Amino acid sequence: MTAFRALAFLAVVTFVNTTFAETKVATVDLQRALLQTEEGMRAAATLQNFTKKRQGELDGLQESLQNEQDDLRKQAAILSRGAFQRRTEHWQRRMLDVQTRFIQYNKELTGKQQELTGPIMQKMFGAVRRVAGRKGFDLVVDKSAVPFARSDLDLTDMVVQTFNAGDTSEEAAPEAKP
């Protein structure tokens, strides 16, 4: 039984080593690629405008809250206990409202980002498949997911060129000959 287990283990290790030895892996920096395409740059500009507008609104609300808090501190000694408590509660409700708005804006930003970049990324994946097929790579991983990869394995520039050339169909490129 022990000999059988050892033989099975050896067979699995040999299979895994052979499989990985034959697998060609490349990387692509999807974020950089996205920002180097015309569509990606337009989406980034739209997101930046979307964010600026909401950030300005939040900044104004936070400044107003800060001013109200400063006034409350200054008047703490002259206000009656009840008046101080009412103003403090009012300030806390406003602060919760600002926090709720911040969370809402973050959700909106995430949704807008997905709405704008989702279709672009689908086309980007098509370009990645095209380049990988032409170059004979079996696996392409996002560069941000690996701690190290040789620079000659980076397909980002080729993917951007393919994307900008409009070669982004969902079909994979013809399989490379082994």
Q: For the segment 75-88, what is each residue's pLDDT rounded down to a tens digit?
A: 988 989 999 999 99
Distance CA(167)–CA(176), nearest Å, equals 17
Confidence grade of residue 107 (pLDDT, cut at 50, 70, 90): very high
Residues in contact with 98: Cβ distance below 8 Å, sequence separation at least 6, in sequence order: 58, 61, 62, 65
Region 148-168: mean pLDDT is 90
The Cβ-side half-sphere exposure at 155, using a 13 Å CA radius, reads 27
**Owning domain of residue 92:** 20-164
pTM, two decimal places: 0.68
Number of domains forming the structure of the chain: 1
Confidence grade of residue 166 (pLDDT, cut at 50, 70, 90): confident
Question: Is residue 2 situated within a structural domain?
Answer: no
Tokens representing residue 11 in the block: 């067979």
Residue 21: pLDDT over 70: no
The residues facing 141 across adjacent strands are 27
Question: Is residue 172 situated within a structural domain?
Answer: no
Confidence grade of residue 173 (pLDDT, cut at 50, 70, 90): very low
Question: Is residue 151 situated within a structural domain?
Answer: yes
According to DSSP H, which parts of the chain are helical? 2-22, 30-35, 38-75, 81-135, 156-164
Closest CA to 164 of 39, 41, 32, 42: 39
Question: Is residue 68 situated within a structural domain?
Answer: yes
Question: Is residue 170 situated within a structural domain?
Answer: no
Closest CA to 58 of 24, 106, 16, 18: 106
| pLDDT value of position 167 | 72
Confidence grade of residue 19 (pLDDT, cut at 50, 70, 90): low
> Would you say how long the chain is, in residues?
178
Question: Is residue 3 situated within a structural domain?
Answer: no
Residue 161: pLDDT over 50: yes
| pLDDT value of position 177 | 43
